[in-house]
Structures are given as structure tokens and as C-alpha cells.
């Protein structure tokens, strides 16, 4: 049956589309429809066009890419995000604004016709917009994956011409819209930058211990349990047979064990630790107090400081110890009220930040960082109370305050990637809880970072203040006001909790100070610019 276009839609297309565009559309349509009939090609293009209905084809490819991990995981997320926005703009906005009638069905050879010919407005092509948005989004994160997806996207776009569903201008317009959306998305939410850590000072001259003689190394057997990873104690005993290796047991006090060793007949020259960030932080505090260099051996689940210090593997740490190579790196010191100073290697924080990091990192390897961050943000903000604080005397209601050692490259609320190992500053991030819909704004900030948060902040009816406030300082003072639920505790380096402040009747004051080059640490420094 001949499908007649609505008179208004036909008139609107004639008004919107220049005559020369409509002339080219007609010529291309006649050329495609008059081309030699190839049954197998016709059937294949028809099936492919149907497979792309409601973006089913692209979602299936995205699942495969996501499960592949690495850059392909980021490519899948950006591809789907671009597809959603591109499809919405094409189908919900473009077709209503431009519209236009589709090619006449009587002109399309019967074997090429779709099972159900579309009846919506013609310009722009939603299938082409979705295909181009997905392919461009994927290519912006992974060139190889994009090279595989792009020919398929181009074929889907052509199938809309071949099956008579669209004019050439519809396909070109949809493809341009989809690609533009992906590029704009990359500008608003760029990929995490690859940051080369720098170290401006000279290498530290540390004791070289080829067989480990003079090294006291603590191993936390409960950190980062992974059956695929070899037992670190066996590896250490084989590589450093003269080292003193102590497996930590429940109730062991690292500070006391080091003091006892320092008073022995043969005191250690190096303190080492194989464990997670919490264990490393506690050992670093002791090493600084007795004036010994620290050997970090990544034995935890995430090993933030070990990676920062340029020791990504246990073998790298052993090689640095044997060669006597190291660096003097910045740390921070945390004091709560009048208590003693505690060494901070990564970050100290109050509020949802430590819970968010813990939640995200338990899912990150399985789901990837974007999805894990979104789920973690929903979970922690669903139950989190706001906190009243004074940051350097400025009163604020916040979800969290995080203070990291060293300026960070991360655009998120999670400052765990330093730019430089000895810049002598702190990176302070304040996640505010003000204005309309504070939980939604907090979720966007936690899950998607500063750029997405800034975009939401610019929307009408929102506060002019930034949801994520970020600045650097040499020292910062955070006064935490007690609420009905008690004063929330300060945490540092993910695991070490300052718990005594919870019972304070008036809240407490935490101060964090940068300590330039406050720790000697073994490192081969392969990624460091000397």
C-alpha cells in the first residue's frame, strides 16, 4: 500500500531543505533503487538494519567491549553514553524540528523493503545518529575498537538508504549529529589523562643490600589475598636470604617491633613492608620516627602509594633495595586536636570519601571504574548524613572533605594520583552539600568528576558555588562540628581510622600539613623524570 506523507510534513521538508539538497536526495535514491538486484546483499542489509533497531546491535557490542576490560571498557561506556544522547537528540528533537517525509515505498524494490516501514518523520536518521555516536565514542577511547566498529556503523547508515527508509540528507545529517555528540562529550568529559609523575630533587643515596642483610621486612599475610599471586614471603626469602622477615599476626604493634629491633645488637638499616595502604602507612610512620628509609613492596589490593612511588611490583622493590636506589618524597602529617602527628601517604578525609573509595574499589576490577563509581556513589549517599565543618575558618555543610599529599591530576573527588612526588603542597577537595537536590549533585560529583559537576552547577535553580571545591595549600585546618549522630571520624590512607574523636562532646579539629621530602623510599623510578 502506498504510504502518503502528511501534507504539513512534506511542506516543512520543502521549506527546511534547500532545493539542491532535495535534488541530490532524489538522484541518489533513484541510483540506489535502480541498482542491480542482489538477493543476498538485499537480505543482509535488511537484517542488519533491523538489528540496529532500538540500538540493540550497539548495546550487544558494548557488552562485549566492556567485558574485554582495559581501554575497551572505557570505549564501551563512552560509546553507549554518546549513543543515548545522540539518539535522543535525533528522535526527540531533530525529527520534531525538521521532520520531512520519507522516500515513497512504491519506489523501493520489494526485496529491499523493511518488514515494517517506519512512519515517523524522516530527518535526521535516528539509526545513523546512533551508529555514528557509538562508533565515534568508541574510537575516541580505543582506536583499534573504533576501527572495527566504524565499518559496521557505516554499513548500518547505508542500509537506511538501501531499504528506502531514508534520504541521503537524513543519513548524513544523523551521522553528523551523532559524531558531534560524541566529540562534544569527549570535550565535556575527557578521558583520564596519562600523567607522568615527576620528581624534581636528586635521587636519594640509600643503603644497597644485595642479600637483604640489615633489612627488617614486615609482611601482612591478610592484605590483598589473591590465589594467582605467588606467596610474597617465599619470594622475599629467595631473593633476600639475609633479610629479617616478620609475618604480622593479630595484635602485632609495628612501632613496638621496630623499637625492639633498633635496641638489638644488630639494628636494622632499612624498614620494609609488604601489605596494603593501611599497613604501609603505619610502617612509614615508624620508619620516619626512627630515621630509616622505607622499602615498599606492593602486597595489598590496590597499592596506591607503591604505584605512586614507582614500585608497581615486589620484584621492582627488591631490585631497588639491592641497587640502593631511591627518592625523597613528600608526605603529610595529620593531627587531631592535641594528639600526635600521623604520617599520611595518600589522603586523609572525613565524610563519604573513604566509604566511597572502599565501595568503588571492591567493584572496580569487576565492573570498571565508571560503573563502579556510579554504584558506589548511590550506595554511600543514600545513607550518608551531611557534615557541618569549618575549613580554615570558613563554615560549610559538606558530604566530605579530602586532603591528599601532593597536587593531584584527578578531576574527581578522589585525589589518588599525584602530579609530582615533591611539590610540597596538599590537594584539598571539598564536596559541598548545598542548594537544590544536594544528593543528586553529590552523586554526579562523586561518580563523574568536576567537569560533569560543573555542568550541573551551571543549570538554572542551582547554586553558583561549585559542588566540588578544589585548591592547594601547605596546611589546612578542618573543624568538624558534632551532630546528633556524633562527630564523624577522620580516616587516612583508606584503613587507619582516628576513632577517639567520635565521643567528643564538641566535635574536634583536624589539621593536615605537607612535609616536603619527608620520607626516603626505595624506587627504581622508571616513570620518573629526574
* Residue 491, in any domain of the structure: yes
Confidence of residue 199 (pLDDT cuts 50, 70, 90): low
Q: What are the residues whose beta carbons fall under 8 Å from the beta carbon of 250, sequence distance 6 or more? A: none
| pLDDT at residue 449, rounded to an integer | 66
Are 222 and 122 contained in the same domain? no
Kindly state the helix (H) or strand (E) to which residue 513 belongs, with its residue range. Answer: strand 508-522
pLDDT at 409 over 80: no
Mean pLDDT of the chain: 80
Residues 425 and 407 sit within 8 Å (Cβ to Cβ): yes
Q: Which domain holds residue 222?
A: 204-323
Are 511 and 400 contained in the same domain? yes
Nearest to 122 by CA among 160, 156, 70: 160
Q: Which of 233-237, 292-296, 317-321, 381-385 has the lowest mean pLDDT?
A: 381-385
Are 68 and 103 contained in the same domain? yes
- The tally of domains found in the chain comes to 3
Domain with residue 353: its CATH number is 2.60.200.40
pLDDT at 500 over 50: no
Are 182 and 38 contained in the same domain? yes
Q: Mean pLDDT highest for which of 266-270, 347-351, 453-457, 478-482?
A: 266-270
For 306-446, strand residue ranges (E) read: 325-336, 342-344, 347-351, 387-391, 394-405, 426-432
pLDDT at 294 over 60: yes
Per residue in 300-348, pLDDT tens? 766 778 888 888 888 999 999 999 999 899 999 998 887 788 899 988 8
Q: How much of the chain, in percent, has pLDDT values that exceed 70?
A: 77
Are 290 and 399 contained in the same domain? no
pLDDT at 196 over 60: no
| pLDDT at residue 271, rounded to an integer | 95
Confidence of residue 350 (pLDDT cuts 50, 70, 90): confident
The pTM for the full model equals 0.62
Q: Mean pLDDT highest for which of 154-168, 270-284, 408-422?
A: 270-284
Are 105 and 241 contained in the same domain? no
Domain with residue 50: its CATH number is 1.20.144
Per residue in 252-269, pLDDT tens? 899 999 999 999 999 999
Per residue in 412-443, pLDDT tens? 666 666 778 888 899 999 888 877 777 777 77
Are 177 and 242 contained in the same domain? no
pLDDT at 121 over 50: yes
| pLDDT at residue 195, rounded to an integer | 47
Triad 490, 494, 499: Cα angle to 5°: 35
Specify the residue for cell string 586532603: 403
Longest dimension (CA), the chain: 100
Q: Which of 282-291, 389-398, 498-507 has the lowest mean pLDDT?
A: 498-507
Are 19 and 140 contained in the same domain? yes
pLDDT at 290 over 90: yes
Amino acid at each position: 500500500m502506498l504510504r502518503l506523507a502528511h501534507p504539513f510534513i512534506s511542506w516543512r521538508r520543502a521549506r527546511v531543505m534547500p532545493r539542491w539538497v532535495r535534488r541530490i536526495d532524489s538522484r541518489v535514491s533513484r541510483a540506489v533503487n535502480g541498482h542491480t538486484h542482489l538477493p543476498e546483499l538485499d537480505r543482509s542489509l535488511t537484517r542488519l538494519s533491523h538489528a540496529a533497531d532500538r540500538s540493540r546491535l550497539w548495546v550487544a557490542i558494548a557488552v562485549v567491549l566492556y567485558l574485554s576490560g582495559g581501554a575497551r571498557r572505557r570505549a564501551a561506556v563512552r560509546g553507549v553514553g554518546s549513543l543515548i544522547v545522540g539518539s535522543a537528540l535525533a528522535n526527540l528533537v531533530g525529527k520534531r524540528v525538521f521532520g520531512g517525509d520519507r522516500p515513497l515505498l512504491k519506489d523501493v524494490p520489494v526485496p529491499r523493503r523493511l518488514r515494517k516501514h517506519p512512519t515517523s518523520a524522516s530527518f535526521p536518521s535516528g539509526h545513523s545518529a546512533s551508529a555514528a555516536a557509538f562508533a565515534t565514542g568508541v574510537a575516541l577511547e580505543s582506536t583499534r575498537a573504533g576501527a572495527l566498529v566504524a565499518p559496521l556503523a557505516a554499513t548500518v547508515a547505508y542500509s537506511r538508504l538501501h531499504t528506502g527508509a531514508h534520504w541521503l540528507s537524513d543519513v548524513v545529517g544523523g551521522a553528523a549529529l551523532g559524531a558531534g555528540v560524541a566529540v562534544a562529550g569527549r570535550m565535556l568529559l575527557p578521558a583520564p589523562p596519562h600523567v607522568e609523575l615527576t620528581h624534581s630533587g636528586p635521587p636519594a643515596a640509600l643503603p644497597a643490600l644485595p642479600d637483604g642483610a640489615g633489612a627488617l621486612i614486615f609482611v601482612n599475610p591478610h592484605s590483598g589475598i589473591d590465589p594467582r599471586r605467588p606467596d610474597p614471603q617465599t619470594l622475599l626469602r629467595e631473593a633476600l636470604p639475609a633479610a629479617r622477615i616478620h609475618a604480622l599476626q593479630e595484635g602485632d604493634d609495628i612501632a613496638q617491633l621496630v623499637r625492639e629491633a633498633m635496641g638489638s645488637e644488630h639494628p636494622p638499616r632499612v624498614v620494609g613492608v609488604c601489605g596494603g595502604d593501611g599497613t604501609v602507612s603505619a610502617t612509614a610512620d615508624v620508619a620516619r620516627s626512627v630515621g630509616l628509609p622505607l622499602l615498599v613492596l606492593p602486597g595489598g589490593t590496590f597499592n596506591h602509594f607503591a604505584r605512586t612511588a614507582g614500585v608497581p611490583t615486589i620484584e621492582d622493590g627488591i631490585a631497588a633495595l639491592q641497587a640502593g636506589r631511591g627518592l625523597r618524597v613528600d608526605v603529610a602529617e595529620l593531627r587531631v586536636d592535641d594528639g600526635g602527628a600521623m604520617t599520611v601517604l595518600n589522603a586523609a578525609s572525613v565524610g563519604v570519601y573513604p566509604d566511597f573509595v572502599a565501595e568503588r574499589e571492591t567493584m572496580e576490577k569487576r565492573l570498571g571504574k565508571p560503573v563502579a563509581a556510579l554504584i558506589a556513589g548511590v550506595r554511600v549517599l543514600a545513607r550518608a548524613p551531611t557534615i557541618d565543618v569549618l575549613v580554615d575558618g570558613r563554615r560549610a555543610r559538606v558530604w566530605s572533605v579530602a586532603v591528599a599529599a601532593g597536587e593531584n591530576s584527578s578531576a574527581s573527588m578522589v585525589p589518588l594520583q599525584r602530579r609530582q612526588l615533591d611539590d610540597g603542597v596538599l590537594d584539598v577537595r571539598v564536596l559541598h552539600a548545598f542548594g537544590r537536590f544536594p544528593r543528586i549533585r553529590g552523586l554526579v560529583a562523586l561518580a563523574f568528576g568536576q567537569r560533569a559537576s560543573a555542568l550541573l552547577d551551571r543549570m538554572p535553580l542551582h547554586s553558583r558555588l561549585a559542588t566540588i571545591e578544589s585548591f592547594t595549600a601547605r596546611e589546612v585546618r578542618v573543624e568538624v562540628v558534632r551532630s546528633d549522630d556524633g562527630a564523624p571520624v577522620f580516616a587516612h590512607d583508606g584503613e587507619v581510622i582516628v576513632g577517639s574523636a567520635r565521643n567528643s562532646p564538641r566535635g574536634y579539629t583536624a589539621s593536615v600539613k605537607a612535609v616536603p621530602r619527608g620520607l626516603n623510599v626505595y624506587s627504581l623510578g622508571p616513570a620518573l623524570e629526574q
